[in-house]
Structure 1
Amino acid sequence: MRIGIACPYSWAVPGGVQQHIRDLAETLIGLGHEVSVITPADDDQPLPDYVVPAGRAVPVPYNGSVARLAFGPLSVGRVRRWLKEGDFDVLHVHEPTVPSLPLLACWVAAGPIVATVHTAMRRSRVLLATQPVMRSALEKIDGRIAVSEAARTTLVEHLGGDAVLIPNGVATKRYRHAVPLDGWPGPGGAIGFLGRMEEPRKGLAVLLKAFEILAAERPGLRLLVAGPGDAAAQLHKLPEPLRERAFFLGEVDEEEKVRVLHSVDVFCSPNTGGESFGIVTAEAMAAGVPVVASDIEAFRQVLRNGRAGELFANGDPADLARAAGRLLDDPAQRADLAVAALAAVAEYDWDVVAREVLSVYETVVLGRATVGVAQ
């Protein structure tokens, strides 16, 4: 099958949607399919062979974050050319309501289209107001996928209709084994975090407050943080005596990310909202690391309502400290949660998820022509 995938966000910036698309594309290629991904990216940016750049991305505030999108005459032209040259059997667009390449591709394309919705958000006045403008593009979508119940709810509230529920995939084998960073986790214990430091909804501020509480009772406990952002600014949010026990690595590549997960005793997902699935949480589970996560819908789903990880009251540093402290003090409980997490995350393995996505492709392709450019 010839498959075209449209990515809304810059390939150069780490994010769950970009990673989902990358892993899906590589899994489908491994299964023998021809896959091409178009994404916001500069022409001189190093990209995998299957990725086509569609021009420079522009930062735009979106869903409590800053999304880097591509939308304009240059992008339209490149999408048209990509569709024409690709002659795809099916077009797969991700986040089609975002003003970027997937929406452009829906407007331009003719043929079978599948859309995946990743975002979970409250009713958006912007999306509701722009719905009439988008309708001509979105009505062309033949099959809809939501990565979680939260994402499905967002889709229903803003677009109507329904979607097949297919979760995010996790390359579980990639996370299973790694050598910890030198000197980690250490005899005093370590708690970890991965995410964009300065994005409030990622919850690092909640974790820093919890670390203050935990560190007062555990003199050897350390904090390991990885992700883009101003590390110095985050470090100075801690009392000076604790700064030498908090380590900020900045943005890390995929290999180092796996090592970070294997370098801590407890992984924390303190996100305060806006998550539809929790891919980093699932990756920690695949690494066999016990997880403490905020009690939001996305994490309850992935952690099986607390059976595969500890949940704490959203936004409450004291409750996070209590939950993490219990695990730090109980190696047997950590081991039990790690086993439960590995079992729970197995159903998100890409070998399983990609075949479910292929079933949607096959359904929409039946009786339809290949994807071309609308006249």
Structure 2
Amino acid sequence: MALFLPDLAGRPARPRGQRRAGVKVALVCAYDWTRPGGVRAHVSHLADHLACDHEVRIFAPASARPGAGGSADDKRLVPLGRAVGVPYNRSVAPVALSPLAARRVIRALTEFSPHVVHVHEPLAPMVSMAAAALGPRPVVGTFHAWAPSQRLYRLAAPVARRVAQRLDARIAVSPSAQQFASDGLGLPVGAFRVVPNGVDAASFAAAAPFPDLIDPERPLLLFVGRLEPRKGLDVAIRAFLRLRSLLPRVRLCVVGDGPGRAPAERMIPPSIRPDIRFAGPVSAEDLPRYHASADIFISPATSGESFGIVLLEAMAAGLPVVASDIPGYRTVLKDGEQGRLVPPGDAFTLADTLATLLANPALCRAMAAEGRRTAAGYAWPAVGRRILDVYQAVLRPPR
């Protein structure tokens, strides 16, 4: 049976008066849908964008049972069993390791019968790798990861390369992720098309601040991320303590949770604890409001970041950014334009850079304006069109 190929990006490509037909898109996520994370957030936002015109299902592990509230009750979700934490890249990846999860995803994809399967982290066990290796085609794979070492990639290269070669299209979220996948798998760089992560620029630009966080006389720094070693919260705390000796009225807000919270709290002298707020995990609706309440965004991650989505969210909110000079962050931030890049792990330089920006409001405003312009190029309408172009290419019959 011939497949009618709709114009996925919404451009007119059918007789006048004909009803527009969307396609069925299966989004496969390697990571626990009920736990926050960058890849999970990207897949969720992509699903939101696609759902306006297409039928979308999300296939992912889910440790929380339906009825528990939150993401466990996402109506688009096809849950595929529990996930376990696997240490990787100075973080913990919540993936499904049971062979049953692999069987479940293949069965569920077959029942859904999608026009295109889009697998995120196609080499991650078991859900994504099974979908990439054995699922219905065409299959698009997005490679999100970057790490200082390619040891695991190279150990698995003989099998991983065959899986990657089965993909009908390969996306990398940044040039660093592209190079990492290319080197680790022994495939040409040109085998991966760079399509960045998207940002909900409108929500961050329009958010209202929390009134209790606003104080023009007491500038507020914002840190957002999982509280684990590679995110650099300890560096942020050390920098804040040094900055307080120069600017005693500065404050810090930390959004996120994880094993690094308790050690970070122990670093803080009792006398200044009232000026540091640990907000914990917050909802997607409240996150932009924390940005709207802040004056400068800091992200002193030490490694392992393939892309700077947290930087783009801050830029969309109109915040100047001070971040570590690491490959994934250099993708979106140019030193001296949207903010400043500082050496990873260097709390002294981070503190001194923040002091310089806080003393120069005009420079902060200029960086904020440039950041908004940069974030607009990563907004979902622009990024979504590029992903739909990839779908269109793999759905088009060969000539």
Question: Same fold, TM exceeding 0.5?
Answer: yes
Other-structure match for 1:345:
375
Other-structure match for 1:219:
248
Other-structure match for 1:204:
233
Given residue 76 of structure 1, which amino acid in structure 2 is its aligned partner? Answer: A
Other-structure match for 1:373:
none
In structure 1, stretches of 5+ residues that fail to align are 369-375
Alignment of 1:1-375 (within 5 A): 1-30=23-52, 32-42=53-63, 43-44=65-66, 45=68, 46-159=72-185, 160-161=187-188, 162-186=191-215, 187-197=217-227, 199-229=228-258, 231-367=261-397
Instruction: State the Cα distance separating 1:212 from its structure 2 match.
Output: 0.8
Identity of aligned residues (%): 39
Q: Deviations for 1:65-85, whole angstroms, at most 9, x for unmatched residues?
A: 001001323212321221111
Q: Distance in 2 between matches of 1:249 and 1:237?
A: 17
Contact 1:20–1:168 under 8 Å retained in 2 = yes
Other-structure match for 2:4:
none
Instruction: State the Cα distance separating 1:124 from its structure 2 match.
Output: 2.2
Q: Distance in 2 between matches of 1:321 and 1:219?
A: 13
Q: Distance in 2 between matches of 1:190 and 1:266?
A: 7
Q: Deviations for 1:333-375, whole angstroms, at most 9, x for unmatched residues?
A: 111111000001111011010110111111112227xxxxxxx
Q: Distance in 2 between matches of 1:315 and 1:360?
A: 38
Contact 1:122–1:154 under 8 Å retained in 2 = no
Contact 2:148–2:303 under 8 Å retained in 1 = no
Q: Distance in 1 between matches of 2:258 and 2:162?
A: 38
Contact 1:58–1:68 under 8 Å retained in 2 = yes
Q: Distance in 2 between matches of 1:232 and 1:154?
A: 33
Which structure has the higher relative contact order (CA within 8 Å, separation 6+)? 1
In structure 2, stretches of 5+ residues that fail to align are 1-22
Q: Deviations for 1:259-281, whole angstroms, at most 9, x for unmatched residues?
A: 11111111101111111111111
TM, length-normalised to structure 1: 0.94
Q: Distance in 2 between matches of 1:309 and 1:233?
A: 28
Q: Distance in 2 between matches of 1:22 and 1:98?
A: 18
Contact 1:151–1:276 under 8 Å retained in 2 = yes
Q: Distance in 1 between matches of 2:60 and 2:73?
A: 10
Q: Distance in 1 between matches of 2:160 and 2:343?
A: 37
Q: Distance in 1 between matches of 2:120 and 2:212?
A: 40
Q: Distance in 2 between matches of 1:275 and 1:123?
A: 13
CA RMSD of aligned residues (A): 1.5
Q: Distance in 2 between matches of 1:334 and 1:114?
A: 40
Instruction: State the Cα distance separating 1:232 from its structure 2 match.
Output: 4.1
Aligned length: 366
Q: 1:57/1:97 Cα in 2 relative to 1: closer, same or farther (>3 Å)?
A: same
Instruction: State the Cα distance separating 1:8 from its structure 2 match.
Output: 0.6
Q: Deviations for 1:12-32, whole angstroms, at most 9, x for unmatched residues?
A: 1111100110111110112x1
Contact 1:188–1:218 under 8 Å retained in 2 = no
TM, length-normalised to structure 2: 0.88
SS in 2 for 1:244: helix
Q: Distance in 1 between matches of 2:136 and 2:42?
A: 25
Q: Distance in 2 between matches of 1:233 and 1:327?
A: 28
Q: Distance in 1 between matches of 2:214 and 2:323?
A: 20
Contact 2:117–2:136 under 8 Å retained in 1 = no
SS in 1 for 2:331: helix
